[in-house]
Structure 1
Amino acid sequence: MENTSKQWLGLPLNLIWGYVAIAVFMTGDGFELAFLSHYITDLGFSPAQASFAFTLYGLAAALAAWISGVVAEIITPQKTMKIGFLFWCTFHVLFLTFGLGNANYPLILLFYGIRGFAYPLFLYSFIVVIVHNVKSDSVSSAVGWFWMVYSVGIGVAGSYIPSFTIPMIGELGTLWLALAFCLSGGVIAMVSLRKAKTPTHMQSLSTKEKLTELSRAVTLLYTNKNIMYSSFVRIINTLSLFGFAVIMPMMFVDDLGFTTSEWLQVWAAFFFTTLFSNVFWGIMGEKMGWMKVVRWFGCIGMAVSSLSFYYIPQYFGHNFYMALVPAILLGTFVAAFVPMSAVFPALEPKHKGAAISVYNLSAGLSNFLAPAIASILLPYFSTIGVVIAYTVLYLAAFIFTYMIKVEQPGFENEFIAEEEVTTA
């Protein structure tokens, strides 16, 4: 009976306040995304040092994304969200007070890194809430709404609000304001999800069995080659998203003369575009085929968009409206990888949970590798070197899509034909 709640266009109304909590929390978490790297360099640190802080943050986020699903199954998603919420608030205060406040680089790395472990515990555990409180044939649309509110928070509101608050209260004041949003989002979640259905099937497992289930997210990478290839493609998916948030503020603000507010509004336009493109490419994946959409519009589209994000602003200079063009292109094509979320469980139907964990791990590794690549290349090749590296990787992902053999509903005959050719 718990799973028969009313819906509005696929949005489960029994979890409506949980979605609100995600949007509010990720708004606070997203405040820093497009200006923190520039702020760290303003404190006297190098662009490479700023990129390394994001790299460490991404590594912690990748680890948390990997374990969040299984931990939520073991101790309940509500408790996991509470842990993530409390960790985020605690280490954000320490990060601002002793790290940024004292311009202490070791403490910046320590507290920002630990805080990076917190938000995936809060964010991804809500997917487990959805799975256990929504009818199985409605989970896809419910998760679609999840990514919608995620983008509204971390991308749109998380970029637009700082563009107005930074001129009034500064970067550090804006980061303190982020705490208010995350506190509000956490409290809303804790109150609204108290009575939500929780999984119990893993709580009776032995410690060894729980560790085995946790490790399956890694073992699938070498026991299923299609999962391994898909993981590689998913990692590349958001390289420009996480990488450009680190390197582009310095190019736009320091080199081209944009104000921080103008840059944040350009970045917000990218995220605003994804609100529509996520839905569009999800539908097109069902019509054209998952891998065709990923291959031609995701990989090739992102290769072209990444180059345009550098060359169009370089050519037109401080022109706000022309800067919106590559932002919109990037927002359009980054979402063409959306069908990958359906590919992973289809490749491992007997271990869908573990397959989704690999997907989460891959998403987290993208968060880690994007600034890592930037921190390695920036000192030697400047911004254009990083952009070219991302572009080459998107072209590599294009090649890897031909190695992924997945059976998509409605495309079985095409899959069988490919298998016969491969076998022959």
Structure 2
Amino acid sequence: MNTEKPLFGFMTVPLIWGYIAIAIFMAGDGFEAAFLSKYITDIGFSEAQSGFVFTVYGLMVALSAWCSGVVAEIITPQKAMFAGFAIWVAMHIFFMIFGLTYHNYWMMVIFYGIRGLGYPLFLYSFVVLVIYNVDKLQISNAMGWFWAAYSVGFGVIGGFLPGFINPVIGEYNTLWMSLGWVIVGGLIALITLHNARTNREKANLTFKEKTAELGQAITILFRNKNISMAALVRIINTTPLFGFAVVMPWFLVGKTSQDHGLGFSKTEWQNIWTLFLFVTIFTNILWGILADYIGWLRQVRWVGCIGGVFACFSFYYIPITYGHNIWMAMIPAILFGITVASFMPMTAIFTTLEPHHKGAAVSIYNLSAGLSNFLGPAIATTAVPFLGVGGAIGIYMGLYVFAALLTLLIKVKQPSKEDRIKFRENGTESEYDQIILEN
């Protein structure tokens, strides 16, 4: 345990700066989320081509997310964060110069795709650092604040500022501005987290041992069916989120093959997107606390999955019904911000299902989060040309129903409040893991 006295219950000063760095870094990464898909079509490419750019990007994000947990352990989280930072900066510059500047489609696909390796390596390596630096019983609380910092950056700052900046300097220059935010966030992390506590035991393994450790993140899927089902639930958790970032600009602002724009401006859509992510700042923390009282799986099932069905439906039905009405269009954004954050207990579920292999469990969690980044745009790309936006949203709703059914099959023993108090005061980490297995 870190000998530095924690602040606010669990955070040391380096971790506080780490959360700030995450918010700033992800703000730069999020600048493009609400407008890049539309911008690519505006400069002459088809919606299918635009969707393919995001699909390749999402695949690279998924690969990086899966590797990040184990990579952070075998080279240290700080080095892994630096690698992610360097990849993002270099590939973004190449994407802007060789892709967008010259309207070279395959350069866009290649460099934007490779850039997808960067932010998960930076982001999820910090999660490993958090695990090393906080009390084991505070990880859920720390993760709530982690996702809140993510939402502040990626959602509020990253979503809000482009709505005001784009009309002044244009989308192209806004994409260059995002580079500055990422550089600032990356440098803050590298400077302030340099001396944060880390476990160098696995960093000293041989190459063969490190390869075997990396393989652990695959084999766990085959030997633990509960982890496999939890992975599917986590994939579905944010699949509509990343899908909406691609679909909704087409639906509200532009035209698709079967649906017409409803008269919203780009700025109005970006404000709707920002509102959604602004809500998640508070709901991430709220659901992280309430899950201990409601029950992890019960909360995921009824609020996240069933509630998510209605939230997705409202994203289509309300704009279709009320047309260009910005206030009504904000209702589904609020509903979705409430439901998507209620999956917060999934981190605790994964590590509880594999208490003796938490690193591998976190890697599968990261892989699942990354796959949702791939699956969301992939559904949009393949479904919209044939089924329209309504059909794509219907698929997202069906996935939430499937996830709700899976939660009925997952067997996880959530420790009671009394057990938590008992082992916080008197127990060791191994004893706490044992009570989880036997409770």
TM range (shorter): over 0.9
Counterpart residue number, 1:125 = 125
How far apart are residue 2 of structure 1 and its match?
3.2
Counterpart residue number, 2:109 = 109
How far apart are residue 411 of structure 1 and its match?
9.1
The letter for the 1-side match of 2:196 is A
How far apart are residue 12 of structure 1 and its match?
2.9
Give runs of aligned pairs for residues 244-259 of structure 1, distance below 5 A.
244-254=244-254, 255-259=261-265
Deviates most, 188-197 or 4-13:
4-13
Q: Matches of 1:271 and 1:264 in 2, distance apart? A: 11
2:327 pairs, out of 302, 321, 324, with: 321
Give runs of aligned pairs for residues 14-413 of structure 1, distance below 5 A.
14-254=14-254, 255-410=261-416
Residues 78-103 of structure 1 show CA distances to partners (whole Å, capped at 9, x for unaligned) of 11111111111111011111111111
Residues 141-160 of structure 1 show CA distances to partners (whole Å, capped at 9, x for unaligned) of 22222111111000111000
Aligned to 1:203, the other structure's residue is in SS state: helix
Residues 355-390 of structure 1 show CA distances to partners (whole Å, capped at 9, x for unaligned) of 111011000001111111111111111111110011
Q: Matches of 1:6 and 1:392 in 2, distance apart? A: 44
Aligned to 2:324, the other structure's residue is in SS state: coil
Is the contact between residue 141 and residue 285 of structure 2 (CA under 8 Å) also seen in structure 1? no
Counterpart residue number, 1:415 = none
The letter for the 1-side match of 2:153 is G
Is the contact between residue 53 and residue 109 of structure 1 (CA under 8 Å) also seen in structure 2? yes
Counterpart residue number, 1:421 = none
Is the contact between residue 10 and residue 135 of structure 2 (CA under 8 Å) also seen in structure 1? no
- Give the 3 Å change call, closer, same or farther, for CA 191–4 of structure 1 in structure 2: closer
Q: Aligned pair count?
A: 413
Is the contact between residue 11 and residue 145 of structure 1 (CA under 8 Å) also seen in structure 2? no
Q: Matches of 1:262 and 1:194 in 2, distance apart? A: 41
| Superposition misfits of 4+ residues, deviation over 4 angstroms | none
The letter for the 2-side match of 1:341 is T
Q: Matches of 2:73 and 2:312 in 1, distance apart? A: 38
Is the contact between residue 140 and residue 348 of structure 2 (CA under 8 Å) also seen in structure 1? no
Q: Matches of 2:3 and 2:95 in 1, distance apart? A: 41
Q: Matches of 2:203 and 2:290 in 1, distance apart? A: 39
Q: Matches of 1:363 and 1:135 in 2, distance apart? A: 24
Q: Matches of 1:380 and 1:137 in 2, distance apart? A: 48
The letter for the 1-side match of 2:135 is K
Deviates most, 383-392 or 130-139:
130-139
Segments of 5+ residues of structure 2 without an aligned counterpart are 255-260, 419-439
Is the contact between residue 11 and residue 141 of structure 1 (CA under 8 Å) also seen in structure 2? no
Q: Matches of 1:44 and 1:3 in 2, distance apart? A: 57
Aligned to 2:204, the other structure's residue is in SS state: coil
Deviates most, 32-41 or 47-56:
47-56
Aligned to 1:11, the other structure's residue is in SS state: coil
Q: CA RMSD in A?
A: 1.6
Q: Matches of 1:222 and 1:248 in 2, distance apart? A: 36
Residue identity over aligned pairs, in percent, reads: 53
Residues 295-338 of structure 1 show CA distances to partners (whole Å, capped at 9, x for unaligned) of 11111111110011011011111111111000000000001111
Aligned to 2:414, the other structure's residue is in SS state: coil
